[in-house]
Amino acid sequence: MMQQIAEALRDFTARYCQLWQQHYGHAPASAELAGIPSPCITGERDDSVLWQPQPFSLRPSLDAVERAVDIQLQPAITTFYTSQFAGDMQARFEHHSLTLLQAWSEDDFLRLQENLIGHLIMKRRLKLSPTLFIATTASEEEIVSLCNLSGEIILEQPGRKQRQILADNIKIFLKTLQPVSG
């Protein structure tokens, strides 16, 4: 199953890069990531960096997150965040616009783990079930997360019990996700 998740992520990323190539004639571009070192950078254009996904160069593990909050994580979340380095990618899932989060570099992966720890601590303090974010939405009130208990992909409002199931698992979510350029 973990290999299938990695393949689904690589497939989505390839579709995302291909869409950029078709629409703009170049690799995905990001103004937000300009000036931040990454193995993904392939060039510059205006005030943006062009990027392509790169192999993940660290040990594929979220052990630091598990140790910090004394929890066993769904293996799917580790596969999701340790399959590649890439820029964040805009997408649509059904009628939801979102930005799929990825680690941009080794340093960014460390920051990502710190943010996951903070998110899990907040969930614990509020006595809510543990989730791990994988995407943001246009609304600051909603994020897309993996439920650590069930493995389902959910739309949730941080700090609230409200949640909507989007997909039974991350593989189905990634296969259904449609890339959006720019």
User: In the chain, how many domains are there?
Assistant: 1
Could you read off the pLDDT of 145-163 as tens digits, one per residue?
999 999 999 999 988 888 9
Helix (H), strand (E) at residue 176? helix 170-176
CATH number, residue 35: 3.40.1580.20
**What range defines the domain where residue 50 resides?**
2-179
Could you read off the pLDDT of 22-56 as tens digits, one per residue?
999 999 999 999 999 999 999 998 899 999 999 99
Task: Write the DSSP symbol of residue 140.
Answer: T
Could you read off the pLDDT of 95-133 as tens digits, one per residue?
999 999 999 999 999 999 999 999 999 999 999 999 999
Residue 78 has a CB neighbour count (10 Å cut-off) of 19
Helix (H), strand (E) at residue 11? helix 2-24
Per the confidence metrics, is the pTM higher than 0.85?
yes
Q: Indicate the average pLDDT of the chain.
A: 96
Half-sphere exposure of 142 toward its Cβ, with a 13 Å CA cutoff? 17
Distance CA 58, CA 127 (A): 33
Helix (H, G, I), strand (E, B) or coil at 90: strand
> What is the band of 181 on the pLDDT scale with cuts at 50, 70, 90?
confident
